[in-house]
Copies of this chain bind each other. A is one copy, B any other.
Amino acid sequence: MGIDVGGQSTKIGVVTAEGEIIAQTVISSLQTELIDYINELTKAIKGLIAQTAEAGKVKGIGIGAPNGNYYKGTVEYAPNLKWSYDAEGKPTVVDLAALVKSFTSLPVTVTNDANAAAMGEMAYGVARGMKNFIMITLGTGVGSGIVVNGEVVYGHDGFAGELGHTIAVRDGRQCNCGLKGCLETYCSAMGVRRTAQKLLMASPDVKSPLRDIDMESISAKDVYDAAEKGDEVALDVFRTTGQILGRSLADFVKFSAPEAIVLFGGLAKAKKYFHDDLVAAMEENQLQIWKGRIKVLYSSLKDSDAAILGASALAW
């Protein structure tokens, strides 16, 4: 089974060795008590196994979760998972693998959601057959999964691949993590909103359908919809996003010399509006040996499928 733990919902799928999702279900992730979440999760797992008559055939469970630690099977200090908060209202460490194992009697492995997506892409998606690539997930934030020699890089402590918090702009935008100028403050759904706000304020005379929306509640989807209508402000937002992402990607290549960068997540759907600027910025900031040689690919799997498939690959 592959399980994709998101901030809003948790998706659970039974996956065959060939990578076919033969049954799936969804539960909420919004519980504020850990016991309530684990209760619903384990019941859903058992229900799904019973429903597909695959009991006994399910060999293990792989879970992709924000701040998931592969070595420890934990979810650590995940601000978006309320059930991981302690009595004082702060995110803490949850032994997710141990808990799920206790109530299902199946082997359980945990990794972070971007690593799970990378595994899904490697096993069943555009990175099939690749030994070296970097997965960048462009969602509410920016996550990453790095594959070297066919293996996900976990690092010394299991937390490798926090490329969303490398500094894209020195002394730039304030990030939730406490640092300034992190890539995710520019190249995530949140980042797109902030860039839109900035460009709207910088050009008060330029007309835009985005001005009909309350500034604080503009979403990346609103910017996408405006771009679809040909709005120059929205188009400029995506161009800027592509430029900043492209030059950061150039630096990532200098680390692990991947065959490809694979982009994934909600924001990747706007690729037609940022791809050209991304590639131009990446090439401009690239060393000669890699100019024109690093592919920029987009996930071909449905968002939820990639995460479930990747998590299940982890279980295999």
A interface residues with partner B (beta carbon < 8 Å)? 76-77, 130-132, 146, 148-149, 151, 153-163, 165-167, 169-170, 177-179, 247, 250-252, 254-259, 285, 287-290, 293
**Copies of this chain, tallied across the complex:** 2
Task: Report the minimal beta-carbon distance from A96 to chain B, rounded to whole angstroms.
Answer: 17
Whether the pair B160, A257 counts as a contact (CB closer than 8 A) is yes
* Docked complex Cα distance between A151 and B132 (Å): 14
- Residue in A165, A252, A289 with the greatest tally of chain B CB atoms within 10 Å: A289
Whether the pair A155, B146 counts as a contact (CB closer than 8 A) is no
Whether the pair A179, B287 counts as a contact (CB closer than 8 A) is yes
Point out the residue from B131, B156, B169, B170 that lies within 8 Å of A258, measured CB to CB.
B156
Whether the pair B163, A254 counts as a contact (CB closer than 8 A) is yes
* Docked complex Cα distance between A198 and B160 (Å): 37
Whether the pair B156, A287 counts as a contact (CB closer than 8 A) is no
Q: Which residues of B contact A149 (CB under 8 A)?
A: 151, 153
Closest to A251 in B: B166
Q: Which residues of B contact A285 (CB under 8 A)?
A: 167, 179
20 residue pairs A–B, Cβ–Cβ below 8 Å: A76-B289, A130-B156, A132-B155, A148-B155, A155-B258, A156-B258, A159-B289, A160-B257, A161-B254, A161-B257, A162-B254, A162-B287, A163-B255, A165-B254, A166-B251, A170-B170, A177-B288, A179-B285, A179-B287, A255-B255
